Each structure stands twice: as structure tokens, then as C-alpha cells.
Structure 1
Amino acid sequence: MGLGVAAALGLSACTSSPDTSTAAAGPTPAAGDSAGQATAPASFTVQPAVGTKDFAPGEPVRVTVASGEIQSIALTNADGKQVAGELSADKHTWSATEPLGYGKTYTWTGSATGTDGKPVPLSGSFSTVTPKRQVSGSLNVGDGQTYGIAMPIALTFTSKVTDKAAAERALSVETTPKTEGSWAWLSDTEVHWRPKEYFQPNTKVTVTAAIYGVKMGDGTYGRQDVDASFTIGRSQIVKGDTTTHRMQVIRDGQQIADYPVSYGLDSDPGRVTHSGIHVVMSKHATYSMSNPRYGYTDVNVPWAVRISNNGEFIHGLAASVWAQGKKNISHGCLNLSPANAKIYYDSVLPGDPVEITGSTQQLSAKDGDYADWTYSWADWTRMSALNS
């Protein structure tokens, strides 16, 4: 008579990791039957194993049968509600299709029939972990939005992640056309993905952070999954040279504008515009500028496009029109005439690159949330937890 899986596994054995267990029921058959075909009792492999404690619900939940077919499988919680699942076409594997809860007990029931024609029962329970804390994640990109070709994807967590490799394995970016890119950890709470080169225009992007149920270290687990699908728009690149006091706008490979500009005062390191690849972060029809160090507060400027977190914008300023195209007198921003600033403002997407050259100061990682392009590709990939 066949043994139940619960008996074969030993219910007294417990584990804190998502181990699998294998059990066969019934006596070892003779080699061959009347037709000359080998027969065997059904053998279950169960994940999580019967008796498992503190199972992370982000791990796969499945039952696999060798030497036979699944006849019935049910996984129920303490209230008797069944977990949704799917049986493979060959009836060898059943997989849960909905996430398990935290701090719950679940019970396996079911049976399989071996090639020997005998039924083998499945029974037994396991429990899921109760996290010390749960961490959420938020994305900087939104469903259905359109971004520029340099747009980084940023995922920010509500608390420190110590098992960065586990968290990163739960993240994915799918692109059409296929785009080479990598995740990089900029802090214990923030990880970014950027392509090796600028995105191709019209690329379709889906980012998924399947962090629910994922153990992130020190008793912390993901609270819920987050995802977004968006599109990369046309290619638009600003090329600015502080030594020529000009700024060109290149759209889809063609120059569409060449504006006179006043950049940051070259002689003052605190005012000079930084060289390097900036990324458009946001834009504002009017913006209030303050810099008490240099004696001004609440100066409203029109058509302001933020390109870093160190105070650099492209904006209109009628008071500096006399210097635009001739001298650099600003406090780090790119000053345009209000009319030119409006034309540029209307063309901008978040994620557009702004490439500045010619100044004495270089843009660095400390200059803002979108300083991803200040890293070489080799340095960027080394910041992935999966490459360290």
C-alpha cells in the first residue's frame, strides 16, 4: 500500500528556506510488466516542502510528479480558500498563479497516479514568513508616458536594502528593440537602470519590480510589485559650449536651433556651468530661483527646464539678453531670451540629454538624481549587485 507524502517527508522536519522535497510511494516495482514496459509509483517534488516554516512568498510554489500524472491538487489557506494554480498540459507540474500571503499556513492535498496505475496521496502543510518590516518601491517613470533618449529608470525603496542581489534579481527591463543596459545601486535605497548608449527613438520599455515576497535582508521583505510601460520619443539632444556662448538643438540628427546663451560665470567655481551629460528632469512655466550665498531670493524666471539637482536650469531671462552669445554671467544656468526659452521649453521631454562642454568644472554623481551618464559604462556595470 502506498505511503502518503506527508509521512514520507516527515512532518517533524522543518526548514527556514524554500527547500524542495521528494517522496516516492509504494514498493519498488519489478522491472517490466506484461508489455515489457517499466512501471513505477508516482514521486512528488514539492516546493515548499511539507513542514517548511518562514517560506518567502516570492519564491515559486509548485508540485512536480515523476513517473506518473497529477490527478488533483489543492493548496488552501487556514480559511479553506484555495490558491489559484495551473496544471501543465502533460499533468506533471502544478504551479501557483497567485502570490501567497505573509504569516499564513497553507495545506497541500491531492493525488497522483504512477505508471504502475496506483494512486499516491499528497498531504501536509507549511507556513510563510512574518516579516520584521516590509519595504515598498516607487518608480520615476509612469504608464503611457513618453521620455527622452537618455531617460534613466529609478527605483527608490522606503528603507535600506541589505540583500541588494536578491532585490536586483526581482527587477527586469524589457525593450523593443532590444537595448543593452544595466542596474546600478546608487545608495542603499536607490537603484537605477540605464542603457549603455542612448535609447533608440520610439523604443517601447516595460520595467517590472517583482519585489513582493522577496527577502531583502535583515528580516525585510517586499510589500508589493510595481511596474510601468512607457515609450521613448524622438531623439533630441542639446549641445552647448560655454566657450562659444551658443546652444544647438539637434532633433533626429538635424540641427533645428542655434541659440545665443549666457552660461555660468567662468571665474567663479560656485557659478560655472558644469560640463558633462545632463538629463532633463522637469520643466516649469515659471520657477522661483533663490541663492542666498549670492544675494538673491525668489527671482521668478520663465520657461525653466531643470537639468540637474545642483541648481542648473535652461530658462529665459530678459535681464541677461545683452550678454547672451557674448559673455557668461549667470549663476550656473543657461540663460536664453524669454522668446527662445519658450520655443525650447515647448520641445522638451523629461529624459532629453543636454551635453555641455568647455567649462572648468565637470558634472559628477553628486550633482543630482539623474547623473547616471557621468559614469563610464565599465564603472556603471560594476555597481550592479549581480556583478560585484
Structure 2
Amino acid sequence: MRSPLGSVVVFVAGLALLASCTSSEQGQAAAGEAAPAKIAFAPADGATEVSVLDPVKITVERGELTEATLTSPAGEPVEGAIAEDKLSWTSAEVLGYGKAYTYAATAVNADGKEQKLEGTFTTLAPAATPRATINPGDNATVGVGMPVSVKFPEGPVEDKAAVEKALTVETSQEVEGSWGWLNDQQVDWRPKEYWPANTEVSVTAKLYGLPYGGGAYGKADLSTQFTIGRNQVVKINTPDHKMNVYRDGQLYLSFPSSNGDDKDPNLNTPNGTVIVMAKEPVGDFSNPRYGYTNVKKKWAVRISNHGEFIHENEENRANIGKVNSSHGCVNLFEADAKRYFDSALIGDPVEVTGSKANFPTTSDVYDWLIPWSQWQTMSAQS
């Protein structure tokens, strides 16, 4: 008869032998089979309120991607590519607002064993996507005082710093300038001094997907390319009854004029630097406030939204070159007005001095009425 102790010893030894065999088999399995590929998505499966700007990435560990796709709700593939090392796929186009996208990926491990994974996510749905505009338009040729204007006519911008960071101005020659917010719905870029003549300008506004604040996001990117023309500046010292036109700093044309009534500051042609805003072969100068209607004048060049123009006024011929008698406009003889009209570009500066009143900062374009040091403080980046 064997002793109980001997039985216990034999039993324990048997357990030890069994355990040893099991560990050996798992070790051989770990050494003989490659770990499965591990696929990951960013944004994660089920994510919501995803930015439309952030690239979608599909990555793999312990293997290589053999296929990766991102599909729109319409079933259209989103452009993207697998990296050369086959460890990732990255999207190459922006996404749409408020849409559910589906991604799928296949990867293989070192043994060629496939692993598949699918998922979905949803992009953010803005409370509003207000449109924006940019000026000057493509292929325009403008004067040396022309600012770049980005406007948001459908509502105010709260996050001005974010918007300003998305705006880029590139020039064919070095130009110092800055953005300045004229109000909550308009930001302008102007140079410190007038643009150098013949500068090529390219402006990009990467606004799509950009948060404006208050739940509003940019509707679309904008861009424009335009050219600065020759340097032409009008200078008017109102007591001189004369309008001088300079090209490249040299006197180019000089015309007798009748400017705003000297005695009444409300009728002065105000002091300040403005720009040519529009040109009309025939302008309507009716003003019931002063008792005249159906007044048409030729070769009208608008220089402000305050009411000032440069135009012909043969009815005031007796005062042109002698007396300032207009209601704020610069009156010229018809032939002179036509000659100036033909020479002018939108954006040409008009510098007025000698008056009792100053231009108010209420016009659409008053950038040059602001001193440079003050203009710089109007940037959201200052």
C-alpha cells in the first residue's frame, strides 16, 4: 500500500507537468503567429460635431493598409491616399457641413491575415453660414489708394481674430500693410503708404469651416487677383480754386475748379484723403433738401458716400476757377471733366486740404482718413 503522502506528491507532480506543457504550447503559438493588425480611425467611430477642416486619418499598427475609403452620404468617395509606408490613409478634401460619413479599411498583418473595420462620424451643423464678399474683383486694375475689403453682409463677426488669421495678402513687391476692422461686418487691408505702381496682388480668404462665433461658420473660401495701376493722385487745396492731377509725383493735369462753399462748413469739400469709388458718364445730383431736382451732370466721379463728386457743371461756369460755390462737389468745365474722367481709376487717391470741415468716417471707404498708428490698432491681431 502506498502512503497518502506519496499519492499527494505524485498528484502535484502531475499538475506541474500538465502546466508546463500548456505554457509551452501558448509560447509556440505566440512565436509562430503574428499579432492581428490593429486599425484606428480619427475622428473616432460615432463622433459628432466633427470639424469639416480637419483631415480624416485611418491608421494601422502591426500591419499594412491594403484598402481604405471614406464615403459621403451620397455614396461618393472622398479623395484621399494611402501613405507610401502603408501605415496610414489621409483625406485630401474638406467635408460638408452636417453630414454623416462612413469609413472602411482593410489591413493585413505579417502573416497576410486580413483585418477589417468600419465606422461612421457626423460633421458639425452650423447655426448659420453667412456669405462673405471680397473686393477688388479678379483681374481688376485699380488705383494706388485701393484697399482690400472683406465684408460679411449677413451678420456680424464675433471671432475677428480667427477670421483675420485666415486672410492672406501676397504682393509682387514688398508692401507694408495691415488689416483693420472698420466695423463688425467689414475688415480692410491697406498699405502704410500708397501701393507701389504696377504691383500684382493676390488675396486669399480661407473662410470655409471657420467659426465666426455665435454658431456661425464660413460659407466658402474667397480669393482674388488684381493689379495696381499707375500712380495717379488728385490734390485739391480748396482756396486755390484748382484741381491738380499728379502722375508718379509729377504734375500731369491742372484744371480750374469751383469747390464747396467756403462760408458754410456743411457745404465745404471736406479735408482728408478719399478715393475714387465710382464713375458715371451722367450722374443724378438732385437734392430736394436744397430745392433742386432732376439735376444731371456729366463725367461724374464719386469720391465718397457723403455726397462728394468731381463732375462738370457748366451752369456754374462763371465761378469755376474763381469762387467756391458748390454744395461740396468739385465743379469742372465739361472738357476738363471729361479729360479727368477718362484718366481716373477706381482707387485713385483724392487729397483735399484748405477747408473748414473734415471728411466724416461714415463713407464706405474711409481707410485713408485713419492715421497709420491708429489703423494698426484696428487689427484683431494687434
**TM value normalised by structure 1:** 0.81
Distance change (3 Å), C-alpha of 1:292 and 1:85:
same
Structure 2 counterpart of 1:293:
289
Structure 2 counterpart of 1:150:
145
How far off is 1:197 after superposition? Answer: 1.5
Distance change (3 Å), C-alpha of 1:220 and 1:117:
same
Structure 2 counterpart of 1:356:
352
Q: Which moved more, 1:268-277 or 1:191-200?
A: 191-200
| SS in structure 2 of the partner of residue 52 of structure 1 | coil
Structure 2 counterpart of 1:254:
250
Whether the 8 Å CA contact 1:101–1:128 is kept in 2: the answer is yes
- Structure 1 distance, partners of 2:110, 2:197, is 56
Q: Percent identity?
A: 46
RMSD: 2.8
Whether the 8 Å CA contact 2:60–2:88 is kept in 1: the answer is no
- Structure 2 distance, partners of 1:155, 1:86, is 35
How far off is 1:91 after superposition? Answer: 6.1
How far off is 1:60 after superposition? Answer: 2.7
Distance change (3 Å), C-alpha of 1:43 and 1:162:
farther
Letter paired with 2:324: N
How far off is 1:350 after superposition? Answer: 0.4
Kindly indicate whether residue 220 of structure 2 is the aligned counterpart of residue 229 of structure 1. no
- Structure 1 distance, partners of 2:342, 2:88, is 55
Whether the 8 Å CA contact 1:56–1:215 is kept in 2: the answer is no
- Structure 2 distance, partners of 1:382, 1:75, is 45
1:171-186 to 2 correspondence within 5 Å? Answer: 171-186=167-182
Q: Which moved more, 1:128-137 or 1:79-88?
A: 79-88
Q: Deviations over 1:49-77 (max 9, x none)?
A: 444311231x2314386989765432222
Q: Which runs of 5+ in 1 are unaligned?
A: 1-39
Structure 2 counterpart of 1:374:
369
- Structure 2 distance, partners of 1:313, 1:52, is 58
How far off is 1:85 after superposition? Answer: 2.4
1:1-388 to 2 correspondence within 5 Å? Answer: 47-57=42-52, 59-63=53-57, 72-86=67-81, 94-110=89-105, 123-157=118-152, 158-366=154-362, 368-387=363-382
Whether the 8 Å CA contact 1:44–1:63 is kept in 2: the answer is no
- Structure 1 distance, partners of 2:174, 2:109, is 44
**TM value normalised by structure 2:** 0.82
Letter paired with 1:379: Q
Letter paired with 1:135: P
Q: Which moved more, 1:176-185 or 1:257-266?
A: 176-185
| SS in structure 2 of the partner of residue 340 of structure 1 | helix
Structure of larger gyration radius? 2
Q: How many residue pairs end up in the alignment?
A: 346
Q: Which runs of 5+ in 2 are unaligned?
A: 1-34
- Normalized per residue, the structure richer in strand is 1
| SS in structure 1 of the partner of residue 337 of structure 2 | helix
Whether the 8 Å CA contact 1:56–1:214 is kept in 2: the answer is no
Whether the 8 Å CA contact 1:183–1:383 is kept in 2: the answer is yes
